[in-house]
Every structure is written in C-alpha cells, then in structure tokens.
Amino acid sequence: MSSSLRPYPSLAEIAQTPFDDSLYPLLCDAHCHPHDDIDNLATIPQLKVGHVTVMGVREADWGVVEQVVRLCGEAWRVGDVGKAVPCFVFDLRIPARFPKLTGVHPWFVHTVCSPTEPQSTSADYNHDTRYANILTSNSPADIATLIPTLPDPTPFPDWSARLRQNLLAHPYAIVGEVGLDRSARLLPPGADHWAGIVPTSVRCSQEHQMAVLGAQLDLAWEIQRAASVHCVQAYGGLLELLKEKTKEWGSAGGGKKRGKGKKQKEVNDDGQAQAKPSTSTSASSSVPHPPLRICVHSYGGSVDMIRSLLSLPPSIVRCYFSFSVAINDRLGPRLDDLICAVLDDRLLLESDFNSPQGVDPMMKAICERVAKARGWGCEQVARRTHANWWTFVVGEEGTEKARREVEMNGGWVGKRDNEVDGVVEDEFAEESTMIRIIDTIPGADGDT
C-alpha cells in the first residue's frame, strides 16, 4: 500500500456522490449481532465494511463474541500490530476490526441481581419473593406459573466482576448491549430465543432494569468505556437515569479538573475512614475525567428526546445516536426528521443484523437513507460517521492515539475537530494548510 498527498474532495463534490463499493471500508457498523448465525462465523472477517461492533446480550453470549474477536483478530492481523489490543488494532487497512461488547441486555436482566437487592447467595434470599418483586403482568397467574421455572439469578458481585474482568482484558471493549425495554416479555419455559415463539405476558419491572443498567453505566464511566444502549418505550426512564448519573459522576470529578494535593479517604483495619495523601501527580491531576460515551442504537424516540439527551453536560455524558434500516425503516418519513435532529458529530450507522450475510447490504442501505435525509452524498456520510465511530469507541484521546498509529502504518482514522474538507485550520497561521491524507482502500493506488 502506498500513500499520497491529496485533499479531501470538496463538500460540493461529495454531495453529488452516490454509494460506491469503494466506500465500504469507511462504513462502521455501530451495532450488530452477526455471531447469532453460528454456522457462518467464518464469513465475518470477509465483510466489506470497515468495522463491525459485535454485541453480546447476556453472559452466555460472551464466549461466542470472544470467539469472533479471536477469529477476526487473527484474520486481520499484520505482524505484531494489535497484540495488546485484541478487540481491534489501529491499522485501518488490515485491522482486527471487531470491538467486543459485553453486557446484560434488558431482555435477560431478570436473570441477574441488581446491587441493591438481596443476593441469591445470601441467607435472606427467597426465590419466589425475589421474582414476585421484579416481575409484572396483567395476569398474576402467569407470574406464579413462570417463577418456579426460572433459575436463581446470578449474584451482582459475580456477574459484575466477570464483566469488569472481560472489559479490562480487552482495552477497547464496550459495555453492551445494555438498556431499558418496557415492551419486552419473558419467554415461556424451555425457549431460549424469540423467533417463532409466543412470549408470556410477564415483564421485568423498569425499576430492576434501571438498577442493573445504572450499575453497568457506573462501570463504563469508571473504567472509561463506551456503552451501547437499547431503549424501547423507556426514553423517559433513560433520561431520568442519565440525569441522576450526571449528578453523581459530576460530584465525583466528571468534567472537572482534578485538584492537586487533595487528601483522599481510605478505610483502616478497624473500618474507620482516615485521610491519606494523594498520590496523583500534577500532570495527571490536571486531566478531567472523560465523559461517558453512550450510543442509543436504532433510535426510535422523538426529536424532543434527542434534544433532551444532547442537552446533558457533554463533559460528563456524550450521547450518540445510530440508525438502521432493519429497525427504523418502519418509521417512514419520521426517520428523516430524527436523522436530521442529530448533531453531525453524534451520528452513527448500524445494521442491527443477526447474520453476516446481511450486514453489508444493510449498511449500504442506511448510508443511502442518511445521505438522502440530510442532503449529503454517500461519501460524506461514510467519512463523517467513520470519524464519529472512532471517537465513540475509543474517545477523543484514543482517537488521536489511533490516528498516530494509523499514519505510521499507512491508514486513516478521520478528521480532526478543526478540520474542514481536508483543511486543518491552524490558529497560529494566517493561511490553512493541507493535512496528509492516507489512502485507506486496498489497491486504491494500484498496488495490493
């Protein structure tokens, strides 16, 4: 692969571009489940799209997701690049391009304990009482029939510790798929998927869902990871939870520069709090805690809710929104309004498809739909959402690190914040200068 010095096309040129297959490497699928098609896992590395964000929805999925990450990591590895980052490497031309997502989906959240309820291993735990407290239905008989068939929930210390371990083992893994769903109903005994199955009338309470989601978002914020959020008929609850968390994280230092020389509290052997000197350096103390990055996937709420979520302090919570043809196309013209309501730098694309066979065409379709709604060309959509995906997954600091790594290996990450149409505005110079753009598409310069 060779590099060249060239500017981006102008916005006028980009706006005229239909979808071309050369754009596939720029497309980043922010949310999908190709590993559900267990018989076709080997085809996932052959997808045309540049990145696929593979979702785990319950702890039983985590092993399959890890298998996909290993499969794709080996298939797209170059020499030693990426050994320390098994989720993906920084070479965009030949990357291990599949960030790993691990979390508990709201459809399965009844199978885990929240941090505030009696744990299934504690002396005061009662199976029937626990489920009666978190399940709802118009038919109490349905709840009574279902409860004896349900397993004892996984204690919070157990599943949260495994989630933390999974995330720490993969530096750019994402928390997800997590969220809230007021419409989801539990499966009947013996069923483990929804295809062709009539669900019961029983739902998990929103209070329990919010408690588990809150704990997972706390972990994401603590270790500075992004989160992919599922939300159905519960946008008010999501906004309420994020407002609450914004206050908690803000008081804990989110969005603020950390003070120097502050005394911290630790617990001594007698359980008493005592002061200890801060071990932070002046360099690290001046760095604010990064915001939690959240992607609300296949967003189907209102325009007003987009504005409300975007109004949260961006130094503490930064909301992204992704759209899919698979889920959002049913909205008709309203989808265009939602797409246009999202800020340029918070827009993402997704397929939300459960087989690798549909990911590429679904991503092409949503790219074309967004281009039409916003009056952009497909290339502008691909480039903008490509840069947004990088910032969502790895954060601002991580994106800059990725850019440096990519340029060393002949790839490309996206535009800097002060870059417009391939021109970087230099605040110290009267004239703008062209940045060095590296071709990313294999064979674009005639070599392979």
For residues 11-28, average pLDDT: 75
| pLDDT for 170 | 75
pTM: 0.76
Q: Which amino acid is at 365?
A: A
Is the omega angle on the peptide bond into residue 117 within 30 degrees of 0, that is, cis?
A: no
Q: Which residue shows structure tokens 């960030």?
A: 99
Q: Would you say 185 and 203 are in contact if contact means Cβ atoms under 8 Å apart?
A: yes
Q: Which residue, among 431, 397, 359, 400, has the nearest Cα to 24 in the 3D structure?
A: 359
Q: Give tens-digit pLDDT for 136-172.
A: 999 999 999 999 999 999 999 998 998 898 788 777 7
Indicate the range of 4-8, 36-40, 113-117, 337-341 predicted with least confidence.
Answer: 4-8
CA distance 323 to 437: 28
What are φ and ψ of residue 319, in 5° steps? -95, 130
| pLDDT for 36 | 74
CA distance 180 to 182: 7
CA distance 142 to 120: 23
Which residues 6+ apart lie within 8 Å of 429 measured at CB? Answer: none
Ordered structural domains, the chain, with CATH: 11-254+289-417 (3.20.20.140)
Indicate the range of 57-61, 107-111, 250-254, 363-367 predicted with least confidence.
Answer: 57-61
Mean pLDDT score of the chain: 75
Q: How confident is the model at residue 59 (pLDDT cuts 50, 70, 90)?
A: low
CA distance 55 to 363: 16
Q: Which residue, among 261, 279, 282, 293, has the nearest Cα to 398 in the 3D structure?
A: 293
Query: Element (H or E) spanning 292, and its range?
Result: strand 292-296
CA distance 235 to 180: 8
Q: Which residue, among 299, 185, 280, has the nearest Cα to 238 in the 3D structure?
A: 299
How many of the other CB atoms lie within 10 Å of CB of 256?
A: 13
